[in-house]
Amino acid sequence: MKSPVNIVAAFGLVLGAVFGMAGTFVAQPNLQGLLWAIDGAGLVAAAAVLALKFLRMEHELVAAGFIVFAIAEAVMLSGTAGGPVASVPAFGAGTVLWATALLLISVPRHFPLLIRVLGVGSAIFFGITGARIFWGEQILPTSAPLPFCAYPVLVLTFIGWIWSLLREVEK
């Protein structure tokens, strides 16, 4: 029996992964903003649904992580329309919240070890990025090496979450 919660969450995570990465590689600010808006909306919806799912399962830390992740995405989304330079404050706040959320989701032993390691790795990369922004560096969402090289690790984490959700559907 297919779980609509898992399907909706997986779809939101796919939107986040695909449109988020696409926005990172697009140079035109208007198109980049649109791609990141779709990415952010998909991830907010997925994280909200997953928070409810894990709360019902009594996995409170994982649920809290997805709540914080939804907040992080909403914060980032608030700066997206301003373009890369104007979005730096919201992006900095969002990356710190992403790091917090990823730790809350990845430290408990709910997901398989590899997915949890990817989540912790993403948390470290985005925590460093956020700390540098709060330290006063002008780091754009597309700056290299961080955060640019952190996105693939985050997307791999999403793929792990999607895989876990869809495996539950098959059972």
pLDDT tens-digit readout, 93-134: 999 999 999 999 999 999 999 999 999 999 999 999 999 999
- How many domains does the structure of the chain reveal? 1
Give the count of alpha carbons within 13 A of 139, CB side only: 24
- In this prediction, residue 3 has a pLDDT band, given cuts at 50, 70 and 90, of confident
> Quick check: 1 pLDDT over 80?
no
Cα separation, 78 vs 154, in Å, equals 20
Three-class SS string for the chain? CCCHHHHHHHHHHHHHHHHHHHHHHCCCHHHHHHHHHHHHHHHHHHHHHHHHHHHHCCCHHHHHHHHHHHHHHHHHHHHHCCHHHHCHHHHHHHHHHHHHHHHHHHCCCCCCHHHHHHHHHHHHHHHHHHHHHHCCCCCCCCCCCCCCCHHHHHHHHHHHHHHHHHHHHHC
What is the mean predicted confidence (pLDDT) over 11-25?
Answer: 97
Predicted local confidence at residue 106, as pLDDT: 98
- pTM attached to this predicted model: 0.95
Query: CA-CA distance, 126 to 138, in Å (whole number)?
Result: 15
Taking CA 87 as the corner, what is the angle to CA 36 and CA 95, rounded to the nearest 5 degrees?
Answer: 75
What is the residue type of 11?
Answer: F
Give the structural domain span for 145.
4-170
Spell out the residues 6+ positions from residue 97 whose beta carbon is closer than 8 angstroms to its own.
68, 69, 71, 72, 75
What whole-number distance in Å separates Cα of residue 153 and Cα of residue 138?
22
The model's confidence at residue 170, banded by pLDDT at 50, 70 and 90, is low
In this predicted structure, the answer to whether residue 81 has a pLDDT above a threshold of 90 is: no
Considering the chain, what percentage of its residues have pLDDT values greater than 90? 92
